[in-house]
Structure 1
Amino acid sequence: MKNLKSRYIGYAFLLTIVAFTSACKKEYLNPNAATAGDVLTSAKGLTGVTVGLQKNYSTTRAGVLYASITLNGLTTNELISINTGNTNEERLAAGGVQVDGTNSVLLNVWAGANKIIYDADNVINNAANLADKNYAAGLIAYASIFKALALGNLSEYWESVPAGTGQNVTFISRVDGYNKAIATIDNALAVIAANSISTSFLGNIPSGVDIPNTLVALKARYALFAGNYALALTAANTVDLTKKSTFTYDALNLNPIFEVATSTNNVIQPKNLNLGQTGANIPDAGDGRIPFYTVVNTTVRINGFGAGTFTQFPIYLPGEVTLIKAEAYARQATPNLISALAELNKVVTKTPAQDPFGVGAGLLPLIGPYNQQDLLNLIYKHRCIELFMSGLKLEDMRRFNQPLTDRKRNFFPYPFPERDNNTNTPADPSF
């Protein structure tokens, strides 16, 4: 992130302070401090909250990005826990009943995502009142990205998700959660279609995020997860695959995967050079994505997007969008297997030089004929490799009907702080 943006980050925490102080019987005011009203009614204050969304999502061990990758990777056998002293990671690796509502990795995803939704809603709702509609469009679109990501994370790991924020909220189904993320994105797309994002807004946020492409890429992702294949295909076809959209890092905001895991070799690492895949899903010999995502240094270590302190982390990969197209074609009511294979082969044959991030298998094209199930099996295999450590594999395992024995849990229990404070919390899943 740009150092000059750091001054905004402090505003992100003001809402939390206000929430705590409002519960007290007596109110002690600092006449020199910014109030919640000041923060939420000015462009500067709303920018601070918005930049805070990215910081809270994409940095630190407690951030949703790192916690989700760890949770997903240990559950789906992408990753192993290195240190038996890391109790929460060890229990995720063990799975089953060893994972309960006290698990801090689980809580980091749950609490972090819900906090991001709360803050994003404050930005989205209050930015609409600004006189500068172009600046407001930027705020709404940018905040909507993080709200959608947070909703997506909740919907991937829990059977039901909160319908909103606040006390004793009700719950909706996880599919409704994905659809809520899509509705958030649609609102943002409508806003920026009516008022283009101002350059002044873009100059006040961290570099790296391509806002329009990220919105439609996430729309395609969550439409696919919700089973709306026509919408997923339409959205995926509007993504410019030549462009990158990333979380960027600097000396104040470090890449959390490198900082916590890669540099220490004390928390998580890839399970093996097969990325934890077995049987027909083992990567082909010479697959260029293996040396991209892994490196051997006595043992198999993290490479790729966790390779360095300042390594950018993609919000989505071009390969993901292409594989969304392949799967959408294959799952249509009348499957288009020719188009599905063509899209799949774009990923299979892509070289590192042809990919904006350098992710490329560089393999020979797949030659059919394949039936629908054959193609779905191949799409799953290449999603597991192309999207290694993206935090998406658990959703893929369910969608492609992979054996329950290949993952440590199917859904997760609700964190105890939620259950203890919300009588509407659903029952925990059996597995």
Structure 2
Amino acid sequence: MKILRNHISAKIVSFAFLLTLCLASCTKEYQDPSRAKTDVALGSQQGLTAVAIGLQRVYSLSRTGVMFTSIAANGFVTNEFRLLNSGNIPELQLSTGGSAVDGTNTILFNLWASANKIVYDADLVISNANNLGDKGYAAGLIAYSSIFKALAIGNMAQYWEKIPDGTGKNVAYITRAAGFAKAIAVLDNALTVIAANPISASFLSNVPADVSIVNTIHALKARYALFSGNYTLALTEANAVDLTKASFFKFDTTSPNILFSIISSNNVFQPVNANLGLTGANVPDAADKRIPFYTLMAGNPATLRMNGFAAATASPFPIYLPGEIILIKAEVLARQPDLTNSLIELNKVVTKTSDLFGVAAALPPLVGPYTQQQLLDLIYKHRSIELYASGLKIEDMRRFNQPITDRKRNFFPYPFQERDNNTNTPADPTF
């Protein structure tokens, strides 16, 4: 991924490398053992930019990052993926589900640790950016870092019943509902900051251009407001997203797409089947063009493999899809209930023949009338297809009251490393 763009100065690259070494060697409290050196770096635009860029690297570039671990954990327990090699013990635990998933699972630990590291480092950027003289540059740093802080908090709140309220020693826990509210508050603060001081062109020239900052903030607010049941806010924020603008993580041969790296080995997981693991009324229509987008037959002998955002080294990965934003509108309207306008929004996804990322069902429009429950069932079906392997399905299954027998876990146990170092760690869920 071209996270460090070609025109970023060598000094910023150097800062990024040095700070990665310092901050990656943190303790449970995510503190730098060379505090004085780090404090000097965090007092400059270059140092803060390096840390901000590092957030995206921690989130999306490695097998231990939030992007991959959330997709893997979610995919196994919601029956999106099938395990290819039972020797992969963490994946085997998640594929088996139930009590087989415990605090030793390294996929869950990596998700937990990477998310908390992002929160810690984002807080460093946000607090220190306020001290900069260039308020437009500071606004960019705060907004950009807030995106990753919100994503980290939101991901934890999707998978655990309670999450830590910060990153200090023996930090207290808050409910997942409070976690979503906290993520929204982080994004609200970013919008307030950039309303007062628009993001400077100099900041935008030093960070990846592929993240549409303002649109991403609104999209994430819509997502987490929906998860919180705040439908009025979810609709307002979804309407604020410009669906003609893409926002994604960009990869290349130097920094390859981690999903492709894993999938191409054909040794970890692949789609359960051509129906994306969906059954009954949720099985995709035979003509649904999203199936050949997300899956393909490959190899000798040919087997079903992931396509889409895991298709190649340089395949981009969207932070949000246009279809997600439209389906948020459809769901909110259905729950009001405004069934007429909900169906109009749903049909925008059903009949879509193209979008910024090539995700398009290209089906005939659905024709009602539908009851509220029938419409919600259709929205769930199309979210499951449109947002395949996005890491969002387990949250959808709970919100749409899908049978608990259709998933292998409802919430995850806390990593043993957390329990060993934080006396406030809650009891594990039974399932």
> Retained in 1: the 8 A contact 2:323–2:386?
yes
> Retained in 1: the 8 A contact 2:288–2:363?
yes
Q: What is the alpha-carbon distance in structure 2 between the residues aligned to residue 342 and residue 406 of structure 1?
A: 29
Partner of residue 254 from structure 2, selected from 228, 246, 252: 252
Match of 1:231 in 2: 233
Code of the aligned partner of 1:115? K
Partner of residue 310 from structure 1, selected from 286, 311, 314: 314
Partner of residue 245 from structure 2, selected from 226, 243, 246: 243
Q: What is the alpha-carbon distance in structure 2 between the residues aligned to residue 21 and residue 343 of structure 1?
A: 45
Match of 1:272 in 2: 273
> Retained in 1: the 8 A contact 2:222–2:234?
yes
Gap regions ≥5 residues in structure 2 = none
Gap regions ≥5 residues in structure 1 = none
Gap change, CA 1:246 and 1:34, over 3 Å in 2: farther
> Retained in 2: the 8 A contact 1:289–1:361?
yes
Match of 2:219 in 1: 217
User: Mapping of 1:270-349 within 5 angstroms?
Assistant: 270-297=271-298, 298-332=302-336, 335-349=337-351
**Cα offset for 1:207?**
2.7
Match of 1:135 in 2: 137
Is 1:165 paired with 2:172?
no
Q: Across the two proteins, how many residue pairs are aligned to each other? A: 420
**Cα offset for 1:13?**
3.5
Percent of residue pairs identical: 61
Q: What is the alpha-carbon distance in structure 2 between the residues aligned to residue 192 and residue 23 of structure 1?
A: 29
Code of the aligned partner of 1:14? C
Gap change, CA 1:371 and 1:128, over 3 Å in 2: same
Moved more, 101-110 or 8-17: 8-17
**Cα offset for 1:199?**
1.2
**Cα offset for 1:338?**
0.7
Is 1:12 paired with 2:13?
no
Gap change, CA 1:22 and 1:273, over 3 Å in 2: closer
Match of 1:197 in 2: 199
> Retained in 1: the 8 A contact 2:5–2:207?
no
Match of 2:379 in 1: 379
Q: What is the alpha-carbon distance in structure 1 between the residues aligned to residue 102 and residue 28 of structure 2?
A: 28
**Cα offset for 1:255?**
0.5
> Retained in 1: the 8 A contact 2:85–2:267?
yes
> Retained in 2: the 8 A contact 1:293–1:388?
yes
Q: Indicate the SS of the match to 1:144.
A: helix
| Residue deviations 1:17-48 (CA, integer Å, cap 9, x gap) | 47599999xx9x8xxx9701112111000001
| Residue deviations 1:138-170 (CA, integer Å, cap 9, x gap) | 100000000000001100000000011110011
| Residue deviations 1:286-319 (CA, integer Å, cap 9, x gap) | 1010000000111110100010111110000000
Match of 2:38 in 1: 36
Task: Find runs of 4+ consecutive structure 1 residues off by over 6 angstroms.
Answer: 20-24
Q: What is the alpha-carbon distance in structure 2 between the residues aligned to residue 149 and residue 177 of structure 1?
A: 11
Q: TM-score, normalised by structure 1?
A: 0.95
